[in-house]
Amino acid sequence: MSDFFTRVYEVVKLIPSGRVTSYGAIAKYLGTAGSARMVGWAMNASHTHSGFVPAHRVVNRNGMLTGKHHFDTPNAMKELLENEGIEVKDDQIVHFKKYFWDPVTELEME
């Protein structure tokens, strides 16, 4: 597993229940603003990580559940978010800005 993927997982583990962030926000926090796609690849492989990674809390910059196809069932990502109190309609988070968690502002830069 790459060091980058490990760093992504450490950030994702800090996303509070009932909040979401984007691939790009994680990339920006890690100092690699142009690597949102690599964050997506890390999320796609998160099931291979030894600890629990709440990948369902990472969506695209518009709040779309673009990673839903990498879960056990097509509705698993939506159901996990809804269980945390987040409303999802047509694979998009309703009131996305309300639930958005920005690691750049929420976490102290190291």
pTM, to two decimals:
0.93
Task: Give per-residue pLDDT as tens, 27-52.
Answer: 999 999 999 999 999 999 998 888 89
Task: Give per-residue pLDDT as tens, 89-110.
Answer: 999 999 999 999 999 999 875 4
In 1-110, alpha helices (H): 3-12, 23-29, 36-44, 76-83, 96-99, 103-106
Closest CA to 103 of 19, 47, 44: 19
Domain boundaries in the chain? 3-104
3-104 has which CATH code? 1.10.10.10
Cα dihedral 38, 78, 19, 35, rounded to 10, equals 10
